[in-house]
Structures are given as structure tokens and as C-alpha cells.
Chains A and B, each alone.
Chain A
Amino acid sequence: MLDGLRSGGEGRRSVAVALASTVVFFVVVGVLVTHSPGWPEVRRTFFDWHEFRSTFPEIASAFKLNIKIFCIAEALILVFALFLAVLRSLPGPVFFPLRALVIIYADLFRGLPTILVIAVLGFGAPALGLSYVPTSTTFWGIVALVLIYSAYVSEVYRAGIESIHPSQEAAARSLGLSRWQTMRRVILPQAVRRVIPPLLNDFIGLQKDTALVGTLGAIEAFNQSQIDANATFNYTSYLAAAVLFVAITIPLARFTDWLIARDRRRRQAAGVA
């Protein structure tokens, strides 16, 4: 986080300025909020410590479902999106139909609102009444997230694949490696390493969007906090859910930024040498 400060200026003076302006900013905002006419009411309904303590354990337990959805979806997305990206990189006119299908898929699922896909699949698929189709809302929620996020992540992979210089492919093919061997041994290992930071960015989004599966009725953290809010007419439970999400996503975001900064430093070091 300190990188944001250091790059801003020169040493201790700029750190002091940044610190002072931050403190002033939050004091002003704090004074404005706590002196607003509705503040006593807001404090009672959103920041009730007693309410927080009584609902937090239940919501934390429901949050395990968010983590489960996140982990299963992430594993599937990493594999499925890579498959899509490799399909899209197949050369020549023979593979045009496959490439076109992947492009249509990526355009479609990047264009649709996540909540819409979740609703259509989660309410529609079980309604078909087919015995071999699972009716679990969590299952269909995961399917929807995988479909949406694979569209994004396959684009990230593709950017990585295209960033590898063609001379790497020429070198591999000249040694007699097949197209697939070249992809697996030479192109993908380099491409995936390059796109780890943007991949993590997408997974921060995924972690948040697990809450949308709650709209299908699955008792995950957000849904549980809504149930609590409806029962007590107090919204502090939302705050409890927010704390849980942020506890996962902020460290992930910091880790991503750290990786990006480290990559940049390495590239600069390599450029100088």
C-alpha cells in the first residue's frame, strides 16, 4: 500500500503530506456524517454492536458457503477458460467455426448481467423437471458464475498467449515439437505466469459475486444477513456480512498489487541489465 505513497513524491515530506490530508479528509467526512439529522437513527439500525455480535456467528457460518462456491467456481473457471483460450488461438481456416463459437460465447457472457444469468439458470434449469438435472440452487449458481467468469478469464489468458513472441513458437516448432507440445511446454507456461495479476483481479470480482447466488435462495452470507435484518428490523447484519467479504477481498487485492509491482520491478531490472 505504501507504494502508492512512495511513487507520489520524494521521501518523508510526501508521506507526511499524504498522511495529513488523509486524516483531514476522514475527520471532515466523519463530522458531516455524525452531525447529519438522521445520524442517531442510522447508528441505531446499521451500527448496533449488540446486534452485530448476535448475528455475526450465523452469518460467518453461512459465509462458508460463499467460500465453497468461490473455490469450486474458481477451479472450474481456470480450466474451462484456458480451454477456450487455446481453442481461440488455433490457427488456419479449418478452425474458423471453433474460433467463431468462442468469440460469440465470450461476447455473449461478458454482455449479460451476472444476476440475470444466475436467475435464468437457477430458476429455469430445475424447472425443466428432468430427473438427471440437479435441482440444487447452489449447483446452478456455480454453473452461472463459471459461464460468466470463464468469458472474462479466457480473454485474459488469450492476451497472455498473444504476448509471447512468435520467435518462441518458431524455436519450439523448429525442434520438431508439435503445435500442441509447443503450446503446452513453451507458450502456456510463459503466458500464464504473465497473467496471474489480472487473473487475481477477476477472482476478487468472483468472490463478491458469490453473494448473487443468494438470490436463488441458497443461505449464503448475504442471504443470511437479509434474513436477520428482516427478523429484527435492524440492518447491522449487513455490516457483519460486509466485514466477512472485505476480510477476503482486500488481502487478495493487496496481494495482486504486490505481484504487479514485483513484476514491474523485475522487468525494469532486466531492462537495465
Chain B
Amino acid sequence: MSALSVVGLRKSFGRHEVLRGVDLEVGEHEVVCLIGASGSGKSTLLRCVNLLEPIDAGSILLGGEVVSRSRDVNSVRRRIGIVFQSYNLFPHMSVLRNVTLAPRDVLRLSRRDAEERAVALLERFGLADKRDEYPDRLSGGQQQRVAIVRALAMQPELMLFDEVTSALDPELVAEVLSVIRELASAGMTMVLATHEMSFARDIANRVCFLDEGRILEQGPPEQIFTAPREERTQRFLQRIIEARRL
């Protein structure tokens, strides 16, 4: 049984159809990378899976259960963690409070249990000494790692990453990617929208190329990156390689 199934997903913003029938299966412990040009629908797809955007057609299944028509969106969202490009930490709360807020208010954990869980995660990702800092005192890389920890504190069955390194200074990208790498090796089921092709190649079990709101081509990373079948995939990768050289 798939951890996540997306079937015939369609989504429009006004007259502009961003997703035109997306089908995607993600198995348990699988890491799937979504690649494609800006505006190809990667972010929208992730936001739809987390029910942050209402969908127009199709369905989303979590562990075999249809959740896209669920009336209790909050109980669906607590099973899925999402990390955004712009971190979106709560600036008026300390790191520890950022991480314990949802476990306490949503999962109804006691303060002690929530803090225990938070501190264990912060330690695991090298942020233990930052627990009492406020987000504006942290670097972008640290903030993004806290955002990952905040999502993990809900013990989700699935993690979504929406171009989480795009807003970072180049020297801070590695620390965030290494966190994701560790999660992958721990067996977390993950879907990542990314522009980091070498990282995708490294970490993904499967790579999906999104083009104009559809998954045009998917397969193991070696195949997508070395022998793409579709001409549009070839052209996209060619552009990426050229951009690198500049």
C-alpha cells in the first residue's frame, strides 16, 4: 500500500490551470524528488497534498484512505509535515516554543512531554544550544533546520519539502541538506520539490519531472539524469547544466 497516492489531481488559480491531472504514488520509506521549471506546479502539488489549497478535481489518499474530501483537515495535516522555502518560523516565540506549540495544542501533550520530544529532536540536529533563542537571532540555515524539527515534532508519516534551500545563502545549503539526508536514511517517507539536482540524484529513489502541470516523466535518478526519454526533460536538464557552467 502506498503511503501517498495522488490521482488525477487538478488545480486552477482563476483561469490559470496549474495542475492538469497529476498522478503520483509514493511508497513507504520512499524519497521522491519533484523537479521542473518554476511555475511547473511543484509547490502547488505539495500544498494541495497538505490540503493547504482546495483541489478542483481528483483525489489524495494517505495510507490508502481518501483524505482530499475529509471534513477534518486538521487531523489530516497533523499526519503530514511540510517545510517551506521561507522557513515561516513564528517570530514571537523561542525555538523551543516554536517546536512545542503544535504537539501541545494539537496532540495535547503535556508541557513536559512536548519539551522532552522537542529537546531530543533539537539535539539530534545540532540545535540544542539554540532552544531559547528567537528566530531573528538565527542564521537562515539554522532557522530552516528548526522549521524541519518543528514539523518532525508532530511525528508525521510523510514529510513534504518545498524548495527548502532556495532562500538560503549558498554556504548554508549543506547543513539543511544533511538534515534531510539523515531523515532519508532513517526511513522517513518524503516528497521534495527541489532545484538541487545533484542532491536529488543523490537522495531520491525516484525523480519526477513536472512540466506544465503534469508529471511528464518519472524514474530512478540515474535514468532521468543520464538518459531522459522526453525531449522537454532533456531541454530542462540541459538548461540547468548550462546555468551551472556560467
Q: Give chain A's interface residues, CB within 8 Å of chain B.
A: 167-168, 170-178, 181, 185-186, 189-190, 193, 270
Contact present for B84 and A186 (CB under 8 Å): no
Contact present for A176 and B92 (CB under 8 Å): no
Rounded to whole angstroms, the CA-CA distance of A250 and B33 in the bound complex is 61
Question: A175-B150, A175-B154, A176-B154 are contacts. A185–B105 as well, Cβ < 8 Å?
Answer: yes
Residues of chain A within 8 A (CB-CB) of B88 are 167-168, 170-171
Residues of chain A within 8 A (CB-CB) of B70 are none
Contact present for B52 and A175 (CB under 8 Å): no
Q: Does B50 contact A (CB under 8 A)?
A: yes
Q: Does B188 contact A (CB under 8 A)?
A: no
Contact present for B74 and A177 (CB under 8 Å): yes
CB distance from A91 to the nearest CB of B (A): 12
Contact present for A173 and B52 (CB under 8 Å): yes
Contact present for B84 and A176 (CB under 8 Å): no
Chain B interface residue number, banded: 20 to 34
The one of B52, B75, B81, B136 in contact with A170, judged by C-beta atoms closer than 8 angstroms, is: B52
Pick from B74, B78, B89 the residue with the most CB of A within 10 Å: B74
Contact present for B77 and A190 (CB under 8 Å): no
Contact present for B74 and A171 (CB under 8 Å): no
CB distance from B226 to the nearest CB of A (A): 35
Q: Give chain B's interface residues, CB within 8 Å of chain A.
A: 47, 50, 52, 73-75, 77-78, 80-82, 84, 86, 88-92, 101-102, 105-106, 136, 147, 150-151, 154
Contact present for A177 and B106 (CB under 8 Å): yes
Residues of chain B within 8 A (CB-CB) of A167 are 84, 86, 88
Contact present for A185 and B101 (CB under 8 Å): yes
CB distance from A196 to the nearest CB of B (A): 13
- Kindly report which residue of chain A lies nearest to residue B74, judged by CB atoms: A176
Mostly, the A contact residues are helix
Rounded to whole angstroms, the CA-CA distance of A178 and B105 in the bound complex is 9
Contact present for B151 and A175 (CB under 8 Å): yes
Rounded to whole angstroms, the CA-CA distance of A270 and B80 in the bound complex is 33
The one of A174, A181, A185, A186 in contact with B82, judged by C-beta atoms closer than 8 angstroms, is: A174
Rounded to whole angstroms, the CA-CA distance of A167 and B47 in the bound complex is 12
Rounded to whole angstroms, the CA-CA distance of A181 and B50 in the bound complex is 18
Residues of chain A within 8 A (CB-CB) of B47 are 170
Question: A174-B77, A175-B77, A175-B102 are contacts. A186–B136 as well, Cβ < 8 Å?
Answer: no
Residues of chain B within 8 A (CB-CB) of A178 are 74
Rounded to whole angstroms, the CA-CA distance of A189 and B90 in the bound complex is 10
CB distance from A261 to the nearest CB of B (A): 20
Residues of chain B within 8 A (CB-CB) of A170 are 47, 52, 84, 88
Residues of chain B within 8 A (CB-CB) of A181 are 105-106
- Kindly report which residue of chain A lies nearest to residue B101, judged by CB atoms: A185
Contact present for A190 and B91 (CB under 8 Å): yes
Q: Which 3 A-B pairs have the closest CB atoms?
A: A176-B78, A171-B88, A175-B102
The one of A172, A175, A270 in contact with B78, judged by C-beta atoms closer than 8 angstroms, is: A175
CB distance from A65 to the nearest CB of B (A): 38
Query: Can you pick out 6 interface pairs between chain A and chain B where the beta carbons lie within 8 Å of each other?
Result: A175-B151, A176-B102, A176-B106, A177-B101, A189-B92, A190-B92
CB distance from A177 to the nearest CB of B (A): 6
